[in-house]
Amino acid sequence: MTFTVNAENKSFGGWHKQLTHQSSSTQCQMQLAIYLPPEASEQNKVPVLYWLSGLTCTDENFMQKAGAQKLAAELGIAIVCPDTSPRGEDVADDDNYDLGQGAGFYVNATEQPWAKHYQMYDYLVEELPTLIEQSFPVTDQRALAGHSMGGHGALVIGLRNPTRYTSLSAFSPIANPVDCPWGQKAFSSYLGDDTSKWRQYDASELMTDCQQPLPTRVDQGLADNFLVEQLKPEALERAAKKSDYPLQLHRHEGYDHSYYFIASFIEQHLRFHAEHLKR
């Protein structure tokens, strides 16, 4: 097997496994987790939901806090949670939480010192799904979901590769990174000053001109302290209106940016994806 299994735990009849492998895209060791539902076998392969986490997170946050395994077991869906960036002693980093290790933004960096390792877009679109499908009893039916920076990544990757996924969803995504401090800082560092490159990784820009839409659900808490300055769901809403994109945007009074919010609505997201994965 390409992967090294570092830990495994039985959960709701299935198995959670924490894995590492050497990545050709990021040129370093990558960590991830997979949850395989009880029915997954070589005779009965299951579809996969890829979950992309937010700033400062690892594969552990979603698996430990979202409470997704029970329903994933019932629905017969595997879940794959990659890390949020390359990591290691020789991997470029920054002292701030919103750049460098833990903050890959799911782009292919072109600027130094980031370009050598920060190729998260290629890693997630091509390398990781190929390895997962070669190593585990899963099909090539894939859905994408994520939170915050990971919501940005899920929407961007899905919008740019609509034939590879059945459906997209996001909690509190960075919806218009070219027009918010998090996105501007990351993109100028990873991609340089040419803002045309930035737009290739902006869900609102991509959705405005989308010709091949996917079923897409976004949930946003209205007590989120990042809502106005960083997340800007209204930009995504305007883009969907321009292209007649089938966006389901749900706003929730009182909910913040935390995993309490994610855990409250993860069932709706899993059922949303299951509807499309099982078609």
Query: What residues are annotated to the active site?
Result: 148, 224, 257
Q: CA separation (Å) from 254 to 161, 162, 175, 263?
A: 34, 33, 20, 14
**Alpha-carbon gap, residue 110 to 119, rounded angstroms:** 9
What torsion do the CA atoms of 178, 184, 188, 190 make, to the nearest 10 degrees? -90
Residue 51's SS3 state is strand
**Alpha-carbon gap, residue 48 to 77, rounded angstroms:** 6
**Alpha-carbon gap, residue 124 to 111, rounded angstroms:** 20
Determine contact, residues 85/120, Cβ cutoff 8 Å: yes
Cα-only R_g, the chain: 17
CA quadruple 220, 222, 227, 233: dihedral sign = positive
Identity at 37, one-letter amino acid code: P
E strand or H helix at 233, and its extent? Answer: helix 233-243
**Alpha-carbon gap, residue 18 to 3, rounded angstroms:** 9
